[in-house]
Amino acid sequence: KEAELMADCKIGRVYTGITGSHIRGINSSGMVAVKDKEVTAADVARVVETARAINISSDQRLLLVEPQEFVIDGQDVKEPIGMSGMRLEAKVHIVTGAQSAAENIIKCVRRCGLEVDQLMLNPLASSLAVLTEDERELGVVLVDIGAGTTDVAIFTNGAIRFTAVIPIAGDLITSDIAMALRTPTKDAEDIKVESGCAKQLLADPDTQVEVPGLGDRGPRMLSRQALAGVIEPRVEEIFSLVQQVVRESGYEEVLSSGVVLTGGSAVMPGMVELGEDIFLKPVRRGIPKYSSALSDMVAQPRAATVMGLLEEARFGRMRGYKVAQKNGSVKTAFGRFKDVIVVNF
């Protein structure tokens, strides 16, 4: 309702983000013969359909078919339409997720009187908001540290190459603080957000943090450096797991642009410095590339996914292949933008 009032329009459909340990990513390819020796949009549609024809279990749902590159008679091309050739091949990245997880999101949205226009993978949405074209071309790993999961997406040569989800994230940092300091979970979250530091050497030993006690126990004081000593091991574990995933992906040596951190935990002091210690690559925080109204409100890593969903809705990108500009559907997408809003789950 607040969004409708601010936008002065009626909202009927939403774009939603999805993630979780059920997410699976795989690279696939397909090939077709070019009918008239000149590649058309129909040929592109056919070859992408061939590439996406993989076996997935009945409890999984196709979430994304993202092109990496096309090959015409052995030659790599990014925009095949209009080019001559006999054989067209498509290399794509496919992401699937649990059918039940997707259905639950859709049901939740429908209970609010809305319809889901598109489900989109959280790290892919975040990438639209924070990554530059140069980073995508030169090789970059996006690390989105949420509450329950850490999402990893690798881009090289302008396309997504690898996705993974690690079931350890910000909530476990909060849990560590609550257990180590014997304080309520809600207070532990507040302490993490207001006073947390991911690297103990960077935390001020003279700054004191008030730690509420459990039950009728009174609060006590703790140095910020001691608090960082609780946080650092868990962040180091998260980064080490990301490093392991990146190494196993086979793309570790082609990530010239390094690592971009997004998500609520990315704003914590010391995250970039500890990340550079572990990844041995340049690390930066991902801030949404947005400079219009309310930019101050969204200029933070935690807003990356939502701003990416908005970017997707605004431009009406056809995920899978770039036929939109050829058949006019971009105009159609713009025409219905005013009743689309984004929701992040």
Here the CATH number for the domain that contains residue 230 is 3.30.420.40
Give the mean model confidence (pLDDT) for residues 246-250: 95
Residue that terminates a domain, selected from 235, 266, 288: 235
Tell me: do 25 and 102 sit in the same domain. yes
Lowest mean pLDDT across 67-71, 105-109, 320-324: 320-324
Is the pLDDT assigned to residue 103 strictly greater than 50? Answer: yes
Residue 136 included in any domain? no
Residue that terminates a domain, selected from 235, 251, 273: 235
Residue 326 included in any domain? yes
Tell me: do 109 and 198 sit in the same domain. no
pLDDT, tens only, 205-243: 999 999 999 988 999 999 999 999 999 999 999 999 999
**What angle is formed at CA 96 by the lines to CA 239 and CA 29, rounded to 5 degrees?**
100
Tell me: do 113 and 196 sit in the same domain. no
As for how many domains the chain has, the answer is: 2
Give the mean model confidence (pLDDT) for residues 172-190: 96
**Residue 236 burial (C-beta neighbours within 10 Å; 0-12, 13-18, 19+):** middle
Q: What is the pLDDT of residue 186?
A: 96
Tell me: do 204 and 111 sit in the same domain. no
Give the mean model confidence (pLDDT) for residues 106-129: 91
pLDDT, tens only, 188-205: 999 999 999 999 999 999
Give the mean model confidence (pLDDT) for residues 289-309: 81
Tell me: do 178 and 90 sit in the same domain. no
Is the pLDDT assigned to residue 322 strictly greater than 90? Answer: no
Tell me: do 23 and 116 sit in the same domain. yes
User: What is the CATH classification number for the domain harbouring 342?
Assistant: 3.30.1490.110
Tell me: do 105 and 174 sit in the same domain. no
Q: What is the pLDDT of residue 297?
A: 74
Residue 176 included in any domain? yes
Q: Please, what's the b/e burial string for 171-204 (b: 16 or more CB within 10 A of its CB; e: otherwise)?
A: ebbbebbbebbebeeebbbbbbeebbbbbbeebe
Tell me: do 90 and 175 sit in the same domain. no
Is the pLDDT assigned to residue 170 strictly greater than 50? Answer: yes
Tell me: do 177 and 105 sit in the same domain. no
Q: What is the pLDDT of residue 323?
A: 32
Is the pLDDT assigned to residue 154 strictly greater than 90? Answer: yes
Q: Alpha-carbon dihedral of residues 163, 324, 345, 242, nearest 10 degrees?
A: 20
Q: What is the pLDDT of residue 3?
A: 72
CA gyration radius, the chain: 22
Give the mean model confidence (pLDDT) for residues 78-95: 92
Residue 117 included in any domain? yes
Residue that terminates a domain, selected from 235, 260, 286: 235
Residue 329 included in any domain? yes
Is the pLDDT assigned to residue 344 strictly greater than 60? Answer: no
- The confidence band for 311, taking pLDDT boundaries of 50, 70 and 90, is confident
pTM given for the model = 0.85
Is the pLDDT assigned to residue 87 strictly greater than 80? Answer: yes
Q: In the predicted model, what is the mean pLDDT of the chain?
A: 87
Is the pLDDT assigned to residue 290 strictly greater than 80? Answer: no
Tell me: do 28 and 95 sit in the same domain. yes
Is the pLDDT assigned to residue 327 strictly greater than 60? Answer: no
Q: What is the pLDDT of residue 289?
A: 83
Give the mean model confidence (pLDDT) for residues 315-320: 51
Q: What is the pLDDT of residue 293?
A: 66
Residue 292 included in any domain? no
Q: What is the pLDDT of residue 316?
A: 65
User: Which residues are 134's β-sheet partners?
Assistant: none
Q: Within 10 Å of residue 341's Cβ, how many Cβ atoms?
A: 21
Q: What is the pLDDT of residue 150?
A: 96
> Which residues form the domain of 321?
18-125+316-345
Residue 91 included in any domain? yes
Residue 180 included in any domain? yes
